[in-house]
Amino acid sequence: MSNRVRVRYAPSPTGHLHIGNARTALYVYLFAKHFNGDMVLRIEDTDIERNVEGGEESQAKYLHWLGIDWDEGPDKGGEFGPYRQLERLDLYKQYANELIENGHAYKCYCTEEELAAEREAQLAAGHPTTRYSGKCRHLTAEERAVKEAASAEHTIRFAVPANDTYEWEDIVRGNIKFESKDIGDWVLVKKNGIATYNYAVVVDDALMKISHVLRGEEHISNTPKQIMVYRALNWDAPDFGHMAVIVNENRKKLSKRDESVLQFIEQYQNLGYLPEALFNFIALLGWSPVGEEEIFSKDEFIKIFDPSRLSSAPAMFDKQKLTWINNRYIKEQPLEKVVEISLPHLIKAGFVNEERTADENLWVTNLVALYQDQMSFGAEIVELSSLFFKEVLTFGEEEQAVISEEQVKEVLSALVEELKASEEFTVDSIKAAMKSVQKSTGQKGKKLFMPIRVATTGQCHGPELPAAMTLLGKEKVIARLQQIIG
């Protein structure tokens, strides 16, 4: 293994990019870039039955969207390709034969029925777990010759050594140890000739010169099997780091069936989240910087990333924190970018036409500007701005109390007269009209402004009032005022 840091993200194309995989990819990326190393994208596609069409493309698309790029992979090539496991079957076969020749593996001719009978017998005998008995490991040369002559189907199993210890210093969890007596002879190559995960990943990582492996804690139990293959082939194992699970707000492990949390990166893009904000949020799901600050650019994350600060405790997916982070990023964006993530949702809601004039585009831009500081994601613009698209306003209890006050009709009637008399309908002219109403009615403060706000917007709280009235337009504002006046 070279001294250069080389890490890999190795997804299966069995679905779209979800939060857990995105976090693994993100930490692999930060690790590689922090140490001036290489990130490798490798597609582990040997689980043919579970592969989905477009799975690989989806992984790449949404990794790029998040701002994660790699140095080698199926799309880029590289010195250590090919980068899809189904294109590496000859390599797995080569080393499986070497393991057989060296006595570290053997062909197993047991049928599925025989294996099922073994498992049932072990369970009936009260064994808490079942494992292969290893009977094909002890076949004589003559017995093997008979099987071969009959072209009997077979798997290739690893011959697990007796009384061996598999120990490593985990980057995240410290010392971890397994004993070989707890592991039965396991399958390296299936009957169809396709290598199993725990075997293929070792061949790939060794030949690709992977120096560090970062992955989820569910892989801890796989690691001793992988270490025994490294030893059998006289290869150095990489350093391993197993990251804690992500849990929901009820402290239950996040799963793809958990509907309390959006699972897939595509969903966040579709809702108008910013990739930089999601990158920031995911980076904090199991890793913490020094100090209290939590908002960092990608380049800052690369600079400060310290693998020793990866947490072994479960990482909670805090939805409020995500919306807070995304809001922080939206506030700092150019207005054009916020319009870009908001517009598809306004169109989908039927509020805005797909084809627009220059004046209509300006109106949309001004509308989004009203809410930029409040927005947590693009789709939120629909609910926030709905008051502009209602034909008839409805009022809640708080709003009803405001427009029931005795001075309301006098204030609104005076404002209608001022607006009708004014040739302009701008923020400044509306402010001037309100000032005139204040003088003519003697009303000021909440007694003046709250009835106007509720009558025109239907809300007690909202965006800057003259700006909102300007966007509503003179005709609609007067109509809404007269609706209350009666």
Per-residue 3-state assignment (H helix, E strand, C coil) for the chain: CCCCCEEEECCCCCCCCEHHHHHHHHHHHHHHHHCCCEEEECECCCCHHHCCCCHHHHHHHHHHHHCCCCCEECCCECCCCCCEHHHCHHHHHHHHHHHHHCCCEEEECCCHHHHHHHHHHHHHCCCCCCCCCCHHHHCCHHHHHHHHHCCCCCEEEECCCCCCEEEEEECCCEEEEEEHHHCCCCEEECCCCCECHHHHHHHHHHHCCCCEEEEEHHHHHHHHHHHHHHHHCCCCCCEEEEECCEECCCCCECCCCCCCCCCEHHHHHHCCCCHHHHHHHHHCCCECCCCCCCCCCHHHHHHHCCHHHECCCCEECCHHHHHHHHHHHHHHCCHHHHHHHHHHHHHHCCCCCCCCCHHHHHHHHHHHHHHCCCCCCCCHHHHHCHHHHCCCCCCCHHHHHHHCCCCHHHHHHHHHHHHHHCCCCCHHHHHHHHHHHHHHHCCCCHHHHHHHHHHHHCCCCCCCHHHHHHHHCHHHHHHHHHHHHC
Interaxial angle between packed helices 19-34 and 275-283, expressed in degrees from 0 to 180 and rounded to the nearest 10: 80
Point out the catalytic residue in the list 76, 135, 181, 256: 256
pLDDT-derived band at 75 (thresholds 50, 70, 90) equals very high
Q: Strand pairing partners for 264?
A: 18
Q: Say how far apart CA 142 and CA 145 lie, in whole Å.
A: 5
- Does 1 score more than 50 pLDDT? no
As a whole number, mean pLDDT of residues 431-435 equals 95
28-44 pLDDT, tens digit each:
999 999 999 999 999 99
pLDDT higher than threshold 90 for residue 261: no
Q: What does the pLDDT read at residue 55?
A: 87
Q: How far apart are CA 277 and CA 452, in angstroms?
A: 37
pLDDT of residue 14: 85
The gap from C-alpha 336 to its chain's centroid, in whole angstroms, comes to 25
Residue 298 is a catalytic residue: no
Radius of gyration of the chain (CA): 32
Q: How confident is the model at residue 2 (pLDDT cuts 50, 70, 90)?
A: low
pLDDT of residue 392: 87
Proportion of the chain above pLDDT 90, given as a percent: 88
Question: What gap in Å lies between CA 316 and CA 285, rounded to an integer?
Answer: 7
User: pLDDT at residue 438 above 90?
Assistant: yes
- Provide mean pLDDT across the span 214-238: 97
**What mean pLDDT comes out for the span 93-110?**
97
Percent of the chain predicted with pLDDT > 70: 100
Least confident of 129-138, 253-262, 392-401: 253-262
Task: Please give the pLDDT value at position 47.
Answer: 87
Distance, in Å, from the CA atom of 331 to the CA atom of 393, rounded to the nearest integer, reads: 29
* Order of all β-strands in the sheet with 38-41: 38-41, 6-9, 212-216, 239-243
**pLDDT tens figures, 78-92:** 999 999 999 999 999
pLDDT > 50? residue 63: yes
| Whole-number pLDDT of residue 236 | 97
Q: What is the pLDDT of residues 375-427, one digit of tens each?
A: 999 999 999 999 999 988 889 999 999 999 999 999 999 999 999 999 999 99
Q: How confident is the model at residue 94 (pLDDT cuts 50, 70, 90)?
A: very high
Q: What is the mean pLDDT of residues 302-316?
A: 97
Q: Give the pLDDT confidence score for residue 176 in this predicted structure.
A: 98
Q: Look at residue 429 and tell me whether its pLDDT is greater than 90.
A: yes
Report, as an integer, the average pLDDT of 473-481. Answer: 95
Q: Which residue has the higher pLDDT, 194 or 150?
A: 194
As a whole number of angstroms, the distance between CA 301 and CA 323 comes to: 20
